[in-house]
């Protein structure tokens, strides 16, 4: 069979194109398989403690609404708008998404264009002396177009895009993690402030009672029944309690200032009105440990970074294979600008290229070892993050279970101390005992009431911490799947 030169060129070009397409389908590097982690079947610390199970959807979205506190709801809404840590996390997410789009551009050819104009004279004494161009002055106008394309023969670009996509998803999970942390911190500061309001209210009420007790001892002293020692003891008890009430304000102001920063305001422009804590925390559905792997944004971020590190192993392995490129150049060139765009001024060239590192003193091997070590580190971090999450849930479940029981016992202790105080006061008024017995009973009653208030505050704090440990109703399905340029204005999950 006789083939014309043009047919031979077409056949060779088709064969070459087929070869490039086949190479483009080759991918080196390991496929990603999600890392396994040891997951218990149930939480140990839950034990026989089974709180009421509200609908699990109550923990989704605005989880703080479960407390039915309008003031808290209003403050939490400001976190999404003004919190600077959350704004920084969102900016990092946009950076990661931009890097992904940058890497995706490597899947397509790069085309550049330019223009140049020059006028030059050739020396008359230029060898050889008989040169046609000796002493000639000429102009050169060039309008070139260049195309360059790196064939993704071994999957380097695909692995790089895969790694960037996983990093962007990890960054999105970081946004949700920061959001959860900021909202939880605000709820903690808010309930701590309200707990201190309750303690201060208790101390102020006790101050009023102690003022009456001081007045009683003074009247007894002036009536010749009591002693000056009893008056001094009552005065000491009163002033000590006043000092305790003032000391509560120090911590209370600090929690108010922390809440101001979380909602993005200077402390001087923020005020949290006193509102004593008076309700018990709502029951929180704990669920199964296996569900925690999908509910915690920090676990999802760690898992996505494992996937990204796995893709980087593939990128490193492509260094052992040749780099294949395709280049083309075309345009127009003429010595007269009026004929620059005419047919005879057309120029073009096209051709493939291939380069391969033959000897690099172990550089590629070191790069592969580094990628493998980075993957192993991400796996360890992922498993440690999971273990920490299980620990946090167990800690707070145990704390709530024990504090609920402690609150009941403490309530009985406070009631007994109050009865003892009433008895001692009656005995003192009847002249049966000294004022020292009253002081002892007063101290015991106040201590038990303050302890009861603190236990309630701790229960509220541990409830918030448990919600945070459970992921605040977040789910891994909220990770963005489409990270294209069309999605660049999307709000990251967790807001």
Rounded mean pLDDT of 387-415? 94
According to DSSP, the residues that pair with 353 across neighbouring strands are 325
Give the rounded distance of the alpha carbon of 300 from its chain centre: 10
Q: Are 372 and 310 in contact (CB under 8 A)?
A: no
pLDDT at 16: 53
Of 183, 174, 462, which is closest to residue 299 (Cα–Cα)? 174
Rounded mean pLDDT of 126-153? 83
Of 30, 299, 49, which is closest to residue 169 (Cα–Cα)? 299
| Token digits of residue 264 | 């993005």
Distance (Å, rounded) from C-alpha 38 to C-alpha 36? 7
| For residue 19, pLDDT beyond 90 | no
pLDDT at 343: 85
Q: Are 21 and 152 in contact (CB under 8 A)?
A: no
Distance (Å, rounded) from C-alpha 309 to C-alpha 167? 9
Which one is predicted more confidently, 494 or 444?
Answer: 444
| Token digits of residue 106 | 């490597």
* Exposure on the CB side of residue 257, measured as CA atoms within 13 A: 7
Rounded mean pLDDT of 428-456? 91
pLDDT at 435: 87
DSSP letters, 444-469, are HHHHHHHHHHHHHHHHHHHHHHHHHH
According to DSSP, the residues that pair with 141 across neighbouring strands are 117, 334
pLDDT at 56: 43
Secondary structure class of 422 (helix, strand, coil)? helix
Distance (Å, rounded) from C-alpha 400 to C-alpha 469? 13
Angle at 229 (CA atoms; ends 226, 231), nearest 5 degrees: 70
pLDDT tens column, 27-86: 788 999 999 998 988 888 876 655 544 444 456 678 999 999 999 999 999 999 999 999
| For residue 15, pLDDT beyond 70 | no
Q: Are 255 and 196 in contact (CB under 8 A)?
A: yes
What are the angstrom distances between the C-alpha of 53 and each of 56, 426, 474? 8, 47, 18
Q: Are 238 and 212 in contact (CB under 8 A)?
A: no
pLDDT tens column, 155-174: 999 999 999 999 999 999 99
Angle at 305 (CA atoms; ends 299, 308), nearest 5 degrees: 150
| For residue 120, pLDDT beyond 50 | yes
Rounded mean pLDDT of 430-435? 86
DSSP letters, 375-411, are HHHHHHHHHHHHHHHHHHHHHHHHHHHHHHHHHHHHH
pLDDT at 57: 43
Residue 491, judged by CB atoms within 10 A of its CB (0-12, 13-18, 19+), counts as exposed
| For residue 125, pLDDT beyond 80 | no
Q: What is the pTM of this model?
A: 0.86
What are the angstrom distances between the C-alpha of 372 and each of 187, 308, 310? 42, 12, 8
In this structure, of 42-56, 101-115, 219-233, 298-312, the range with the lowest mean pLDDT score is 42-56
pLDDT at 488: 47
Rounded mean pLDDT of 381-394? 96
Which helix (H) or strand (E) covers residue 112, if one does?
strand 110-113
Which one is predicted more confidently, 107 or 123?
Answer: 107
pLDDT at 492: 52
Which one is predicted more confidently, 488 or 342?
Answer: 342
Which one is predicted more confidently, 461 or 14?
Answer: 461
| Token digits of residue 76 | 């939490």
* Exposure on the CB side of residue 180, measured as CA atoms within 13 A: 27
**All domains of the chain, ordered by start, with CATH?**
24-108+153-321+363-487 (1.20.1600.10)
According to DSSP, the residues that pair with 137 across neighbouring strands are 121
**Cβ neighbours of residue 326 closer than 8 Å, sequence gap 6 or more:** 20, 109, 147, 148, 149, 151, 350, 351, 352, 353
| For residue 316, pLDDT beyond 60 | yes
Q: Is the peptide bond before 128 cis (omega within 30 degrees of 0)?
A: yes
CB atoms within 10 A of CB 481: 8
Indicate the angle between helix axes 70-82 and 84-104, nearest 10 degrees: 40
Rounded mean pLDDT of 182-202? 96
Rg of the chain, C-alpha, whole Å = 38
Of 293, 297, 349, which is closest to residue 480 (Cα–Cα)? 297
Distance (Å, rounded) from C-alpha 166 to C-alpha 170? 6
3-state secondary structure 220-256: HHHCCCCCHHHHHHHHHHHHHHHHHHHHHHHHHHHHH
What are the angstrom distances between the C-alpha of 380 and each of 31, 35, 302? 19, 10, 10
Rounded mean pLDDT of 442-451? 93
Secondary structure class of 121 (helix, strand, coil)? strand
pLDDT at 130: 64
What's the pLDDT band for 483 if we cut at 50, 70, 90?
A: confident
* Exposure on the CB side of residue 468, measured as CA atoms within 13 A: 23
Q: Are 459 and 410 in contact (CB under 8 A)?
A: no
Distance (Å, rounded) from C-alpha 179 to C-alpha 146? 47
């Amino acid at each position: 069979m006789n083939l014309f030169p043009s047919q031979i060129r077409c056949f060779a070009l088709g064969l070459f194109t087929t070869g490039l397409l086949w190479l483009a389908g080759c991918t080196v590097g390991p496929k990603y398989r999600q890392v396994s982690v040891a997951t218990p079947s149930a939480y140990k610390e839950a034990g026989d403690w089974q709180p009421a199970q509200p609908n699990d959807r109550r923990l989704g979205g605005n989880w703080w609404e479960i407390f039915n506190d309008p003031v808290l709801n209003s403050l939490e809404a400001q976190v999404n708008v003004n919190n600077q840590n959350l704004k920084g996390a969102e900016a990092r997410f946009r950076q990661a998404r931009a890097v992904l789009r940058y890497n995706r551009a490597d899947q397509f050819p790069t085309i550049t264009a330019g223009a140049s104009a020059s006028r030059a004279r050739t020396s008359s004494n230029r060898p050889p002396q008989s040169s046609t161009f000796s002493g000639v002055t000429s102009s050169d106008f060039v309008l070139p177009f260049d195309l360059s394309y790196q064939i993704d023969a071994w999957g380097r670009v695909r692995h790089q895009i895969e790694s960037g996509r996983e990093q962007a998803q990890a960054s999105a999970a970081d946004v949700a993690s920061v959001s959860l942390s900021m909202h939880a911190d605000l709820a903690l500061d808010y309930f701590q402030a309200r707990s201190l309001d309750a303690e201060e209210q208790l101390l102020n009420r006790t101050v009023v009672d102690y003022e009456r007790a001081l007045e009683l001892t003074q009247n007894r002293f002036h009536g010749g029944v009591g002693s000056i020692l009893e008056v001094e003891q009552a005065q000491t008890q009163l002033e000590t309690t006043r000092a305790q009430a003032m000391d509560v304000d120090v911590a209370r102001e600090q929690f108010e200032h922390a809440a101001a920063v979380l909602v993005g305001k200077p402390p001087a422009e923020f005020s949290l009105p006193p509102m004593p804590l008076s309700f018990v925390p709502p029951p929180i559905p704990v669920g199964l440990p296996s569900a925690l792997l999908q509910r915690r944004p920090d676990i999802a971020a760690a898992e996505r970074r494992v996937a990204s590190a796995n893709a980087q192993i593939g990128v490193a392995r492509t260094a052992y294979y040749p780099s294949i490129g395709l280049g083309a150049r075309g345009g127009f060139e003429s010595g007269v600008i009026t004929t620059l765009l005419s047919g005879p001024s057309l120029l073009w060239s096209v051709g493939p290229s291939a380069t391969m590192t033959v000897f690099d003193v172990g550089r590629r091997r070191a790069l592969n070892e580094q990628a493998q070590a980075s993957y192993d580190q991400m796996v360890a971090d992922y498993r440690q993050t999971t273990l920490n999450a299980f620990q946090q849930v167990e800690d707070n479940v145990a704390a709530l279970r024990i504090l609920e029981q402690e609150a009941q016992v403490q309530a009985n202790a406070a009631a007994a101390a109050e009865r003892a105080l009433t008895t001692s006061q009656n005995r003192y008024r009847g002249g049966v005992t000294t004022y020292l017995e009253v002081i002892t009973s007063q101290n015991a009653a106040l201590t038990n009431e303050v302890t009861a208030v603190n236990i309630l505050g701790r229960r509220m704090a541990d409830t918030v911490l448990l919600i945070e440990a459970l992921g605040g109703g977040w789910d891994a399905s909220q990770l963005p799947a489409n990270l294209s340029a069309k999605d660049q204005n999307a709000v990251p999950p967790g807001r």
